[in-house]
Copies of this chain bind each other. A is one copy, B any other.
Amino acid sequence: MTQPLRIGIAGLGTVGIGVVKIIRRQADLLKARTGRPIVISAVSARDASKDRGVSLSGFDWESDPVALATRDDVDVFVELMGGSEGAAKDAIEAALAAGKDVVTANKALLAIHGQALAETAEAAGRVIRYEAAVAGGIPVIKALTEGLAGNEITRVMGVMNGTCNYILTNMEARGLGYNALFDECAELGYLEADPNLDVGGIDAAHKLAILAAIAFGTQPNFDAVELEGIQHITLEDIRQAADMGYRIKLLGVARPTPRGLEQRMKPCLVPRDSALGQLEGGTNMVVIEGDAVEQVVLRGPGAGEGPTASAVLGDICDLARGLRLATFGQPATGLTRAAPASSGLPAPYYLRMNLADKPGALAKVASILGDAGVSIDRMRQYGHDEATAPVLIVTHKTTRQALDVALEAFSDTDVVAGPAVALRIETV
């Protein structure tokens, strides 16, 4: 195989330009490793005249990504436009129909339409690779699909949105509120055009749905991910959680349960001294647990030109080397439809509430928890100058249902002021 691998790149934003730079800068290295030259035949982007800081004059331009995807001189269509609908999806479908392999960084598309695309690719005898769609530069798709293929996966967890982790860790480190850090992220360009994709947890949930499909041999099912963003996390909760030995992370968790597949992307507490607890700033981390390997932890940059382009190049090199694999690691037609296990397995919870300064208030709270079958592991009540006192409780393992009964009962008393905060504690 000494014929060049010819690629067409649609989308010349940060990642697309990063890919162009690597292919140009490391041409010799890539050829030595894959045994053949990797060449760019043509590119496509909205604005052909924009200065992107790198010469594109050697490549043909296509204004239409579908035209790019179906060119005779393109073996691999590299989709870096993004978006779960429209141009990206059309172009990928056109590429597969025209007998091209596809490399994409498009997590939304795969989380939502991954099953249909995988079936299309399979029928066409083509492959779709998407290392860059999950956790940026960390080769986690490869680790899970190939390296750990001998494992029955028992749990996949990840902090996979760098912006959320930046906000949460800076709230604690700098004592700033959520809004101040949200504004800072907007100024720094850390937010998607629709910021809810980041802070609402949607982007990270897309990634989780993809990992779950590979891990458990199930059809990707983004709609089944229980979703909660970080918008309501307060500095007080971050500080109180820290005081109890925890950090708050937007953590994705997927695992099989007797009632179906649990998939959730929600703020939860992890021990401060765990690998997840110590993850700072925009870095991503994925934890994979299997029956044989026990636990593997992967950490790296979750975004940025170089790291994301590195992941795209990993896929391109695989294809250049003839390494071909079913989209989610096994035939798409064999992927099962998992029932969603909506509220997860029992877990300990962190509770914070403001208790009225009345005799018997704490006894009332304890009694409500006891009646709901929720037992208390640790409790702290803080000194105060006001009419209410902050109370922190860490429960033993309980179901969310039992906890909801207690939370409901709290609101019917006159001893708990305002709603209680309840966050799951993930055992890691």
Contacts and interface: CB of A to CB of B under 8 A. Distances in A.
Contacts of A300: 293-297
A307 B146 CA distance: 15
A307 B291 CA distance: 9
Contact of A152 (B29, B314, B316, B331): B29
A151 B291 CA distance: 32
A25 to B, nearest CB: 8
A100 to B, nearest CB: 20
Contacts of A142: 139, 142-143, 146-147
B139 A18 contact: no
Contacts of A195: none
Contacts of A297: 297-300
A296 B137 contact: yes
Nearest to A297: B299
A113 B278 CA distance: 41
A148 B139 contact: yes
Contact of A294 (B148, B306, B311): B306
Interface in A220-268: none
Contacts of A291: 26, 306
Contacts of A293: 137, 300-301, 306-307, 310-311
Interface string A315-334: 01110011111000111001
Nearest to A150: B313
Contacts of A392: none
A26 B22 CA distance: 40
A314 B149 contact: yes
B298 A296 contact: yes
A281 interface: no
Nearest to A296: B300
Contacts of A387: none
A33 B330 contact: yes
A302 to B, nearest CB: 11
Given A142-B142, A323-B325, A316 B150 contact: yes
A34 interface: yes
A75 to B, nearest CB: 17
A290 B30 CA distance: 14
A147 B314 contact: yes
Nearest to A335: B32
A203 interface: no
Given A292-B22, A296-B299, A312 B275 contact: no
A269 B132 CA distance: 34
A150 B312 CA distance: 8
Contacts of A313: 149-151, 292
B150 A317 contact: yes
A138 interface: yes
Contacts of A290: 310
B137 A294 contact: yes
B150 A139 contact: no
B330 A32 contact: yes
A113 to B, nearest CB: 23
A294 B290 CA distance: 28
B310 A148 contact: yes
Nearest to A214: B33
Interface in A147-170: 147-152
Contacts of A143: 139, 142-143, 147
Contacts of A147: 131, 139, 142-143, 311, 314
20 contacts: A22-B150, A26-B291, A32-B330, A33-B149, A35-B330, A35-B331, A137-B292, A146-B314, A147-B314, A150-B313, A290-B310, A292-B306, A292-B309, A292-B310, A293-B300, A293-B310, A295-B301, A296-B299, A321-B325, A322-B324
Interface of A: 18, 22, 26, 29-30, 32-35, 131, 137-139, 142-143, 146-152, 217, 275, 278, 290-301, 304, 306-307, 309-314, 316-318, 321-325, 329-331, 334
Given A18-B292, A137-B296, A139-B146, 5 more contacts: A26-B150, A32-B334, A139-B296, A292-B307, A323-B324
